[in-house]
Amino acid sequence: MKPAILLMLVIAWSASGAWAKTYYVSPDGNDQQPGVSHATAWRTLSHAISRVGPGDTIYVGAGRYQGQLYMNRFAGTEAAPIRFIADTTGEHLRNDGGVVELVNGSGLLYMKDSHHVHFIGFHMESNSGTLVYNDGSNGLVFEDCTIVSGGGALHANRADNWVVRRCDITANGHGVYAASASMTLTDTTIRVTNTSNSPLHGANNSTLSADRVTLLGGGHVVYLAGGRLTLTNAVLAGGRQTAIHGANSPAVTLVQCTVYGVGGDGIYAAGGRWTIRNTIISNPRRYAFFRANNAAFHESHGLYHGWGQALAYGFTPSDPVLEDPGFVNAGGGDFRLAAGSPAIDAGADMSAHTTVDRLGLARPHGAGWDIGAFEFASEAGPEEDDGPGVRRRVVRWREVSPLGEP
């Protein structure tokens, strides 16, 4: 075999993760050790970042890791991502386990042109600044993480295919800010404590997709400057201004969503295309819908109730249900449907968009499709806990509080 061809095969094999290794990091470790076992663990993540490659897995032991992390051209591949996994059970580091905290004063993780990196199971916290700044990094995955930021939480700039899955995010700045980026959020709650920012902010024609999410507080709960947004099984509540403010003609799809208690309009549409199906808009302080700049609406099977000024401005909804949705406890943040709710069995078949509700309950659960983020289930109970590190797809009462309370 020619040397050039052999070299190409070796490079391809390496990039595929065929030589992938497992490493370990512990607060009691030592960066002078090889890091290849729990007994020879490294001490810092920054050292791990300087040593690992495509396909490698890094188990990080329980404890607090202080300091900012930088990833510049640090990359796995789609077939062989680099995975940082919090060993909360202690299985891999051979200890009692516990929370794995990544903490810094201002900002925590800066990623530039670093692709296919996964963070799983961490508690991430910073007092100010942007906690994770992603500049041109694609294929990131954040899974089962708790993220707390005194500034913004996740910022994506010129980045594609950032996946956020089963995360709990609290921020004083924007929860998610995407500029010329694409992101997918699933089974995630975002709370914003500052009324000038948004749980979800899409700028520069970004593409955002969110399924089974809860977006709480802020000014506009969702702000869009053009681009595309798809929301299914989403709860939007408690924003001081609008639930969704669409500027610069975005393309928006809202299916099986529940909007409650915002300080302005439920939907403010400055141009663009809006598809809205099986959605509840309850108690906006102004209009349920405000249409401007010839925005095009394709809407049906909605339930709209309790608006402050009028149902809609510049737009006539299609045969909506205009009754109290009958939430279990809206004031307490429980937006499931109580028995007798007019939203039960009043929706259209949305199987082309979703087959489950906000809590993973199969749709339809009764005789027909319900309107809103939740299917009515009289037998549903509170969350059950099988112990550390075990997650079950059962009703999670705490995920729907507009105040972010457990």
pLDDT by residue (tens digit) across 89-104? Answer: 999 999 999 999 999 9
Question: Tokens 């909506």 identify what position?
Answer: 320
What would the pLDDT profile of 140-170 be if each residue is shown by its tens digit? 999 999 999 999 999 999 999 999 999 999 9
Residues 266 and 135 in one domain: no
User: What does the pLDDT read at residue 390?
Assistant: 33
Q: Are strands 280-282 and 258-260 parallel, antiparallel or unpaired?
A: parallel
- Evaluate whether residue 52 is within a structural domain: yes
- Evaluate whether residue 178 is within a structural domain: no
31 confidence band (pLDDT: 50, 70, 90): very high
Q: What is the 3 state secondary structure string of 173-197?
A: CCCEEEECCEEEEEEEEEEECCCCC
What is the total count of domains within the chain? 2
- Evaluate whether residue 348 is within a structural domain: yes
Residues 249 and 395 in one domain: yes
Tell the burial category of 12 from Cβ atoms under 10 Å away from its Cβ (0-12, 13-18, 19+): exposed
Residues 238 and 361 in one domain: yes
Residues 312 and 382 in one domain: yes
Residues 43 and 118 in one domain: yes
Residues 274 and 388 in one domain: yes
Looking at 151, 170, 195, the residue that finishes a domain is 151
- Evaluate whether residue 392 is within a structural domain: yes
- CA 45 → CA 66, 84, 206, distances in Å? 10, 9, 31
Question: Tokens 């990623």 identify what position?
Answer: 111
Around Cβ 160, how many Cβ atoms within 10 Å? 17
Residues 129 and 233 in one domain: no
Percentage above 70 pLDDT, the chain: 89
**Poorest-pLDDT segment among 9-13, 226-230, 345-349:** 9-13
- Evaluate whether residue 132 is within a structural domain: yes
What would the pLDDT profile of 223-282 be if each residue is shown by its tens digit? 999 999 999 999 999 999 999 999 999 999 999 999 999 999 999 999 999 999 999 999
**Residue 99 structural domain:** 19-151
Backbone phi and psi for residue 266, each to the nearest 5 degrees, phi listed first: -65, -55
User: What does the pLDDT read at residue 16?
Assistant: 52
What would the pLDDT profile of 64-89 be if each residue is shown by its tens digit? 999 999 999 999 999 999 999 999 99
User: What does the pLDDT read at residue 19?
Assistant: 83
Around Cβ 90, how many Cβ atoms within 10 Å? 16
